[in-house]
Amino acid sequence: MRSVIVADSEAMRPDARAWFRGRTTSASSLAAIDVEALLAAKRRSGTGVSVVLPARDEEETVGRLVADIAERWMHRDRLVDELVVVDSDSTDATAAVARAAGADVVATADVLPAHGTRPGKGEALWKSLAATTGDVVVFLDSDLQGDVGHFVPGLLGPLLADPQVQYVKGCYTRPLEIDGVSVPSGGGRVTELTARPLLNALWPELAGFVQPLGGEYAGRRSALERVPFAGAYGVEVGLLVDLLELVGLGALAQVDLGERRHTSQSQEALGAMAGQVVATVLARAGSSLDAAGLLTQFRHDGTAFVPRSTAVALDERPPMLTVPEYRARAAGLAG
Ligand SMILES: O=c1ccn([C@@H]2O[C@H](COP(=O)(O)OP(=O)(O)O)[C@@H](O)[C@H]2O)c(=O)[nH]1
Ligand SMILES: O=C(O)[C@@H](COP(=O)(O)O)O[C@H]1O[C@H](CO)[C@@H](O)[C@H](O)[C@H]1O
């Protein structure tokens, strides 16, 4: 079927178009950010800010990110109160590198040990709520490359400026580097080939999100603790759909952070990621399909195709506020 390009004036449903125009701001460099105003808003509101980096085998990149955030936003300007790297079953020196660079480091398995531990990014992010105290939590991937010093203030801007805003996603252009060759676009493969078509079909009010799967976002703890966290790579799409339902489109926002480069995975790995995104979406769309299954992919060994299956079962954690140890800790912190 030939695709028909719809003129900009008619693009998106009216609610998505209004949201895109009203809730998209820009912070594509430090020069575009009024840091003093952010610091004043933080002081005025008494907002505590935690930054969380989920990290699995990121020893090459996590140290620079942590050192930059610590120096700029904890020591020079006190925009961040807490910087935590969640070591997600790393097999390299991620934890040591992050600690030496100035982060508090917790192992996923050591947080809420009575609830066990599961593999995946979603688990690391869910447990980060029990390992941090900020009123606002900022999430950044640990494999970011290039100058991302403006990401933290950029994500905080909408939250510190408007109490109605509950959750902010970064958006950016996404160059893609494969085997050392970088092209200016093409990143966000699961977003473009899986998440965006599904979200547009099932939740068209979310069509204005440029990077629905992006790994850089910030939210108020009071919202984040009330939604489940899908396991593994379903976490971003699950949070977006669940927060839409909890707080409504008007409480969501996005900020243009310019360009985002990161360590890219193989197509096969992203196929498994897409399987986890699909399983999460189907579950939230109320599908009775058996989405909780296996994804079988194929390699060719020179003679024949060899099947290889990975679990894409929907494995999620409940809203953190339902966890007794978390509530007791929050009560203790509230004094
Ligand atoms: O089991 C996992 C898988 C990933 N990650 C982290 O989640 C972020 C995004 O993961 P990845 O880079 O693998 O995804 P991509 O950005 O390639 O889509 C990175 O900081 C990873 O270290 C994690 O903490 N636990
Ligand atoms: O946006 C995407 O399509 C994927 C893959 O990006 P690339 O094709 O490797 O640039 O990356 C994101 O998706 C993951 C699942 O939601 C997130 O966990 C990652 O942080 C994010 O980079």
Q: What's the Cα-to-Cα distance from 152 to each of 32, 79, 87, 202, rounded to whole Å?
A: 13, 9, 20, 31
Mean pLDDT over 244-253 rounds to 98
Side chain identity at residue 67, one-letter code: A
Q: In this structure, is residue 318 part of a structural domain?
A: no
Which pair of structure tokens corresponds to residue 218?
């910030």
Q: Residues of the chain with pLDDT > 70: what percent?
A: 96
Cβ < 6 A, ligand 1 pocket = 54-56, 58, 88, 119-121, 124, 141-143, 215, 262, 265
Nearest-atom number in ligand 1 for the CA of 265 is 17
Determine whether the shortest distance from the Cβ of 215 to ligand 2 is under 6 A: yes
Question: Residue 63: inside a domain, yes or no?
Answer: yes
In a domain, 327, yes or no: no
Domain that holds residue 206: 2-266
Which residue CA neighbors atom 3 of ligand 1 most closely? 121
Residue nearest to atom 5 of ligand 2 (CA): 188
Report if residue 148 sits inside a domain. yes
Helix (H) or strand (E) holding 87: strand 82-87
Atom of ligand 1 lying closest to residue 213 CA: 18
Ligand 2 center from residue 283 Cα (angstroms)? 20
Ligand 2 touching residue 47 (CB < 6 A): no
Whether the complex's predicted ipTM is more than 0.90 is answered with yes
pLDDT value at residue 282? 92
Q: Give per-residue pLDDT as tens, 41-77.
A: 999 999 999 999 999 999 999 999 999 999 999 999 9
The alpha carbon of 215 and the centre of ligand 2 are apart by a number of angstroms equal to 7
Residue 242 lies in a domain: yes
pLDDT of residue 212 exceeding 80:
yes
Q: What is the mean pLDDT of the chain?
A: 94
Find out whether the beta carbon of 276 lies less than 6 Å from any atom of ligand 2. Answer: no
Cα of 264 vs centre of ligand 1, distance in Å, is 10
What per-residue confidence (pLDDT) applies to 141? 98
Binning pLDDT at 50, 70 and 90, where does residue 287 land? confident
Check: CB of residue 57 under 8 Å from CB of residue 140: no
The reply to whether 313 falls in a domain is no
Decide if 259 is inside a domain: yes
Q: What is the structure's pLDDT at 323?
A: 98
Q: Write down the pTM of the prediction.
A: 0.96
Q: CATH number of the domain at 102, please.
A: 3.90.550.10
Q: How many separate domains does the chain show?
A: 1
Task: Answer yes or no: is 295 within a domain.
Answer: no
What ranges in the chain are assigned the alpha helix state H?
14-22, 35-45, 62-70, 94-101, 121-130, 151-161, 189-190, 196-202, 221-224, 235-247, 267-284, 324-334
